[in-house]
A and B are shown apart, each in its own frame.
Chain A
Amino acid sequence: MTNFERRFLLHVPSSTENLALIRDFVANIGKQAGLPDSDLSMIELAVDEACANVIEHAYGSDGTKEVIVRAMLDAEAITIEVVDTGKGFDPNIVEQKELKRLVEERRSGGLGMRMMKLVMDEVQYNIKPGERNELRMVKRLKH
């Protein structure tokens, strides 16, 4: 792989029907970079989780809003940024309860963030509610 950074950008209306398009966007970038299928699946999943959270929580399923997905690829890693201008949240106070506890409480929330943290090497939030919320995720490439 070449070692200069390549950048890709996608703007989509904030609707869950666009999740398939978003997954295809990152999967195609990963394929072009020659990532193994296992990494591709994890990146697709993490971006899906991130964007589903933005669409449903930050924007409250308001289809007039826009989700921005940026992908940066270099010889070391693929970095994905998901940007919104929705209501934001404090990632430090989102409870990460045990799966068994969630089931007992008949809740299914909080799984998306847990999934992202488990499948990506780095997950960082930069939240400015109502202004700009940015989620940055990194998957380091195996050589």
Chain B
Amino acid sequence: MATSFSIRNSDAAGISVLALEGFLDAHTAPQFEEAIQKEVAAGRRNIAVDCAQLTYISSAGLGVFMSFIEEIRDAGGDIKICAVIPKVLQVFEILGFQSLFDIVADVPAAQAKFAAGPREG
């Protein structure tokens, strides 16, 4: 029984949206890492990660966000985390992600944040 996980890419007014579905753990984190790497390599640095269909995350998944965020912010972009279900949000909050990342209600809210300019702090 392997972990079920998929990523759907789209573009929302110049912002790259990565919609995650299923379980993001040590088995599937490399797929997510590769997806972000592709965005960065293509020069797309405003990334919204849509977690509406993400039902599970472990530290391996959180580690992917952490390992890219500095590089992306240094290049003038950001990763916004959107539409997180309560069970997954709890995991983000256990490690204090809310102080390092913008965690917003949905993709339009992420677009508004990007439009408002660089993140403070």
Q: Do A and B come from one complex?
A: yes
Does B66 reach chain A (CB closer than 8 Å)?
A: yes
B26 touches A115 (CB 8 A): no
Interface residues on B, range: 20 to 34
Closest chain-B Cβ to A119's Cβ sits at a distance in Å of 6
Does A143 reach chain B (CB closer than 8 Å)?
A: no
A108 touches B62 (CB 8 A): yes
Smallest CB-CB separation from A41: which chain B residue? B87
Does B90 reach chain A (CB closer than 8 Å)?
A: yes
Interface residues on A, range: 20 to 34
Closest chain-B Cβ to A27's Cβ sits at a distance in Å of 11
Does A93 reach chain B (CB closer than 8 Å)?
A: no
In the bound complex, CA of A48 to CA of B25 (Å): 8
Does A90 reach chain B (CB closer than 8 Å)?
A: no
Does A74 reach chain B (CB closer than 8 Å)?
A: no
Listed in ascending order, the chain B residues whose CB lies under 8 Å from chain A are 1-4, 23, 25-27, 56, 58-60, 62-64, 66-67, 69-71, 87, 90-91, 94-97, 99-100
